Structure 1
Amino acid sequence: MDSSLKAQAAKELLGAYASRQPIAPLTETYPDIVFEDAYEIQKLQIDQMLAGGRIVKGHKVGLTSAAMQNQLGVDQPDFGHLLDDFFFLEHMPIPMDRWLQARIEPEVAFVLGKPLKGPGVTVAEAIQAVDFVLPALEIVDSRIKDWKIGIIDTISDNASSGGVILGGSPTRLTDVDLRLVGCTLLKNGQIVGTGANGAVLGNPINSLVWLANTVGPSGVTLEPGHVVLPGSVTKMQPIAAGDTFVANWGALGSVTARFAKEN
């Protein structure tokens, strides 16, 4: 895929953000697109967003469960960027007018206290770099029509990133075994999903290690204060105006996302 086609694909995805009208899968529009093209298309969009004054505040890792990897026919996760305007306060009404087809997932969030740069990052180094973890809800959104995505489409589309709601109860890694922590996701008071962190590459810290070692060769450092979302422990749930979601994480506390009602 030549540079002009990659620039065109990035322009179409940026246009979908602006118009709130999803586009056809890139794999249909650009049949010659390959894995490496997808990350370049993602970077073209992020570069333009940063040029407009937005700031990278972290990263998300997706496709971390065996079920999702099998569904898309891949054997590794993917990643996207979290920008400053992706973060919303819990309990405060969140407007729905910025997303096309939003869904939500519960995750733990790593907050870094030290820089982390690969390649060669070990689990021990990753643990040392984490200041604390928070309960989190990730809003995922696709600029691809009807969520008809494969791995190349979602990577190109910033790993289907949409937004983040962080809880306010920090926990040190020394105080908890993340693998054993489970989550119950409630939608308007009804349980809609349960899961445990062991489903995230066996341990969410593995997701952080993978991310650092994947972005490091491109010169990217995971910075202190940055948030890393390692992957969901349940299936995505659709969001409608007026919905309230609560993720109960036991020893890690809980986090609530309230979505504004339609006017």
Structure 2
Amino acid sequence: MLTQDQIEQIAAELEQAERTHTLIERITARYPEATVEDSYAIQDMWSRRRLAAGHRIVGRKIGLTSKAMQDATGITEPDYGVMFDDTVVHTGAVLDFHAFTNVRIEVELAFVLKADLVGPGCTIMDVMRATEYVVPALEVLNSHIQLEGRTIVDTIADNAAYGAMVIGGTPTPPHAVDLRRVGAMLYRNEIIEETGLAAGVLNHPAAGVAWLADKLHQHGQRLGAGQIILAGSFTRPMWVERNDTIVCDYGEMGTITCRFV
């Protein structure tokens, strides 16, 4: 396992990489002995630095919950990251392409909680009861660690590659629609690139939220009322370039658009 000094040093490097929009060397290339628990400790230290700088946590993201994403990354277990107040934008947003590195888009559903959600043993029904509404969302992936050869340890330490969330569409009570059958069509510059069903996330998108509640319990944390939880992508990540216009059609749940300049 890594020492506390090493964890603090890597967190400082990640903070600098975020500020300068650069990449650092893979953690596992420098410290092959680093564990998943080390990576969450790095993420937590980085989060504490952001909190100290005046930012506020508004939710969590879950990653690698679908077969499509696991195949795309070669990583076979879920992970999670932290979402801060300055990373959430609404449909129609114009985003600075150069504020991110290795820019990719994922198609997701976001759960907005009306009650705390606490593990262990959290179930899909627990998630449904604790959810005020579900809404379409796009996740913008952002890397601060070199992509080639990265493992789950590198990804988690890099805040699960979270960059921003674009939220929009129609807020929908969780029991008003069969969440497993929510579909989406993702377009880049009017060309359809990806399609998928939300069932691709662990057979039910609420299953990802239940997994997160249990995982956070292991780290002495919980999901709180009012938080936004990105349940995981049900399409492969789509690469984005400067001047791209993105549209994602969720059918009855509405449409999200954004543009990178």
TM-score (norm 1): 0.94
Partner of 2:224: 223
Deviation track 1:47-98 (CA, whole Å, cap 9, x = no partner) reads 1100111011000000111244356565431000010001112213222232
SS of equivalent residue, structure 2 residue 24: coil
Give me the identity figure in percent: 37
The separation in 2 between residues aligned to 1:147 and 1:249, in whole angstroms, is: 32
Structure 2 gap segments, 5+ residues each: none
Could you give the per-residue CA deviations for residues 116-149 of structure 1, whole angstroms, max 9, x where no partner exists?
Answer: 1112222221110011111111001111124542
2:44 matches 1:43: yes
2:191 maps to 190
Partners of 1:247 and 1:205 lie apart in 2 by 21
Which 4+ residue blocks in structure 1 deviate beyond 6 angstroms? none
* Matched residue type, 2:103: A
Partner of 1:20: 21
What amino acid does structure 2 have at the position aligned with 1:51? A
**Cα gap change, 1:166/1:72 in structure 2, threshold over 3 Å: closer, same or farther?**
closer
* Alignment map for 1:103-122 (pairs within 5 Å): 103-122=104-123
Q: Which segments of 5 or more consecutive residues in structure 1 lack a partner in the other structure?
A: none
Shift of 1:217: 3.3
Structure 2 contact 69–235 (Cα < 8 Å) conserved: no
Say which SS state the counterpart of residue 45 (structure 2) adopts.
Answer: helix
The corresponding residue for 2:93 is 92
| Deviates most, 49-58 or 18-27 | 18-27
TM-aligned CA distance change 1:21 to 1:73, over 3 Å: closer
Could you tell me how far apart the structure 2 residues matched to 1:258 and 1:109 are? 20
| Conserved? CA contact 2:114–2:130, under 8 Å | yes
Correspondence list, 1:238-249, <5 A: 238-249=239-250
Task: Give 1:105-184 correspondences, 5 Å limit.
Answer: 105-146=106-147, 148-184=149-185
Q: CA deviation at 1:251?
A: 2.0
Structure 1 distance, partners of 2:212, 2:235, is: 21
Query: For residues 89 and 72 of structure 1, what CA distance do their matches in structure 2 show?
Result: 27
TM-score normalised per structure 2: 0.94
Q: By how many angstroms is 1:240 displaced?
A: 1.8
Distance in 1 between the 2:244 and 2:224 partners? 33
